[in-house]
Amino acid sequence: MTPIMSKSDAAELIVAARTRRGISWSEIADKLGAPVVWTTAALLGQHPMTQEQARQVCQLLGLDEPVEESLRSQPYRGGGKEVLSDPTIYRFVEALAVYGPALKELIHEEFGDGIMSAINFRVDLARRPDPDGDRVVVTFDGKFLDYKW
């Protein structure tokens, strides 16, 4: 009996295979017919995949059964505070520090007392051309949940 391969080990193998075969995250997502942020997050270990999805990914990337089993397993999500200081990720953290309280005020003003769900939720990323330099546009889209006793 061997343990199930950890999600982070599986992610390392996926990144290596993807790089060596020259396959983009978008191509994997297209293959699965799934949104690209969801797919990337799942392959990095943040969502469980169905057996069919896991099999397709492993076929495409030439990975074998232990990776497939790992992709299907239930994750512990998040973790990894140390990644938050990477500059590309940190700018999102800084944006929350600056605009978080304003978002809270405006959610309460528009919707009442409650939150944006992070479970019934999706994220999208797009490139918006701009003469002054193209822009990264990230959309958080979650169901409003009101405090209901």
Residues within window 36-95 making contact with a copy of itself, judged by CB under 8 A: 36-38, 40-41, 44, 46-48, 62-64, 69, 73-74, 76-80, 82-95
Task: Give catalytic status of residue 91 as yes or no.
Answer: yes
Among 30, 52, 65, 96, binds a copy of itself (CB under 8 A): 96
Task: Give catalytic status of residue 6 as yes or no.
Answer: no
Spot the catalytic one: 91, 105, 122, 135: 91
Task: Give catalytic status of residue 94 as yes or no.
Answer: yes
44-141-79 Cα angle (round to 5): 35
In b/e form, how buried is each residue of 6-32, taking b as 16+ CB within 10 angstroms? ebeebbebbeebbeeeebeeeebbeeb
Assess 17 for contact with a copy of itself (CB under 8 A). Answer: yes
Residue 139 CA from chain centroid, whole number: 12
Assess 114 for contact with a copy of itself (CB under 8 A). Answer: yes
Among 30, 59, 65, 137, binds a copy of itself (CB under 8 A): 137
Residues belonging to the chain = 149
> How big is the chain by its Cα radius of gyration, in Å?
18
Spot the catalytic one: 8, 105, 117, 122: 117
Q: How far is the CB of 54 from a copy of itself (least distance, A)?
A: 13
* Cα separation of the two ends of the chain: 46
Q: Which residues are catalytic?
A: 91, 94, 117
